[in-house]
């Protein structure tokens, strides 16, 4: 695995190695002198007298000034690299993507209107800026290989930028505890080469990837968009109701009404989940996917949900 997948990552590591190296050198040097002095100037007998030294100004100035200079070097080096890590290079084009964190998945919206869930698709060698917000609680967006990490905060926009050097796949972790399924809030960055990116931007498909039939595409979306984390397909009760035999049945809702689970209800519950909650399930758990799924994607998900039936 590539450990420094951006230009800045290698420099972040250099700062780290520099500070660690310097600390290690002085730790060992100071302790070596300490041990030497303990042995060299130990009391050798009852009549052993030591010289009465009052102080040495020169020595004190030297051991104050040298550490000051070293700390200033660390500060300067750190600030310079931090600035490059934080601010996209001036005057260069930047490709901006909106990121929303919500319990417990990531969604991405691109300038051409495309959306993806838990999978950030970017071109190689391009300055990418992520404009990030949260739909519920504080999350934190971390791509270890890029050395970038930034909190994603409700009612506040935060940002980060990176420029991936190599095409490939990298992990995204949520690094702020955000509830029950925090540890499952995982994603991938897919860095595409120029040809693949051009194709994806136009068609939403990777080179060589085919358009899936509705049922398969619905199943893929159900997993990729994180539905499966809360809605089982085998009858087990998770955070939300199971999808097993869900379609077509009549369900009691927490407002005392009862509705039939049909296409309209499924679309409504995906876009505006707070309107009707199935009785026995807590409110405020299901995030809204309004604007994050196209009509054809919603229709494919419905096709898949219809197919989840017990034998
Ligand atoms: Cu989101 Cu932890």
Residue-wise pLDDT for 19-63, tens only, equals 999 999 999 999 999 999 999 988 888 888 878 888 899 999 999
The 10 Å Cβ neighbour count of residue 246 is: 19
Q: Is the ipTM of this complex over 0.90?
A: yes
- Measuring from atom 1 of ligand 1, which residue has the nearest CA? 139
Q: Is 174 in the pocket of ligand 1 (CB under 6 A)?
A: yes
**Cα 244 from Cα 260, distance rounded (Å):** 15
Q: Is 143 in the pocket of ligand 1 (CB under 6 A)?
A: no
Give the residue extent of every domain in the chain. Answer: 7-86, 95-203, 214-307
CATH of 214-307, one of 1.10.8.350, 3.40.50.720, 1.10.760.10, 3.10.450.50: 1.10.760.10
CA contacts within 13 A on the Cβ side of 264: 2
Among the listed ranges 68-72, 194-198, 276-280, which one has the minimum average pLDDT value? 276-280
Residue-wise pLDDT for 59-115, tens only, equals 999 999 999 999 999 999 999 999 999 999 988 899 999 999 988 889 999 998 888
Q: Is 152 in the pocket of ligand 1 (CB under 6 A)?
A: no
Is pLDDT above 50 for 230? yes
Q: Is 176 in the pocket of ligand 1 (CB under 6 A)?
A: yes
Nearest atom in ligand 1 to the alpha carbon of residue 182 is: 2
Distance 121 CA to ligand 1 centre (A): 20
Topology of domain 95-203, CATH? Immunoglobulin-like (2.60.40)
What's the mean per-residue pLDDT of the chain? 89
CATH of 7-86, one of 1.20.120, 1.10.3470, 3.10.290, 1.10.287: 1.10.287
**Cα 93 from Cα 196, distance rounded (Å):** 20
Contact (CB, 8 A) for 192 and 207: no
Cis preceding-peptide flag for 104 (omega within 30 of 0): yes
Select from 99, 164, 83 the least CA-distant residue to 131: 99
Q: Average pLDDT for residues 119-133, to the nearest whole number?
A: 94
């Amino acid at each position: 695995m590539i450990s420094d997948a951006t230009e800045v990552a290698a420099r972040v590591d250099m700062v780290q190695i520099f500070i660690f190296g310097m600390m290690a050198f002085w730790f060992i040097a100071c302790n070596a002198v300490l041990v030497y002095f303990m042995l060299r100037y130990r009391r050798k007998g009852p009549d052993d007298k030591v010289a009465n030294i009052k102080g040495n100004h020169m020595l004190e100035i030297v051991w104050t000034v040298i550490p000051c200079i070293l700390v200033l070097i660390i500060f300067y080096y750190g600030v310079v690299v931090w600035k490059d890590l934080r601010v996209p290079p001036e005057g260069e084009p930047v490709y901006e993507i909106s990121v929303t964190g919500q319990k417990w998945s990531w969604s991405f919206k691109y300038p051409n209107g495309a959306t993806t869930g838990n999978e950030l698709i970017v071109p190689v060698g391009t300055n990418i800026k992520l404009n990030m917000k949260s739909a519920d609680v504080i999350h934190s967006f971390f791509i270890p290989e890029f050395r970038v990490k930034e909190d994603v905060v409700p009612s506040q926009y935060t940002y980060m930028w990176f420029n991936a050097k190599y095409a490939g796949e990298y992990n995204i972790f949520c690094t702020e505890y955000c509830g029950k399924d925090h540890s499952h809030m995982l994603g991938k960055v897919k860095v595409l080469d120029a040809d693949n990116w051009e194709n994806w931007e136009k068609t939403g498909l990777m080179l060589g990837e085919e358009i899936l039939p509705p049922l398969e595409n619905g199943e893929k979306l159900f997993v990729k968009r994180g539905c499966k984390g809360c809605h089982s397909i085998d009858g087990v009760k998770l955070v939300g109701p199971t999808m097993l035999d869900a379609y077509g049945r009549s369900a009691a809702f927490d407002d005392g009404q009862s509705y039939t689970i049909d296409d309209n209800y499924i679309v409504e519950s995906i876009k505006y989940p707070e309107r009707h909650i199935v009785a026995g399930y807590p409110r405020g758990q299901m995030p809204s996917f309004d604007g994050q799924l196209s009509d054809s994607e919603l229709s494919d998900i419905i096709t898949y949900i219809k197919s989840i039936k017990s034998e």
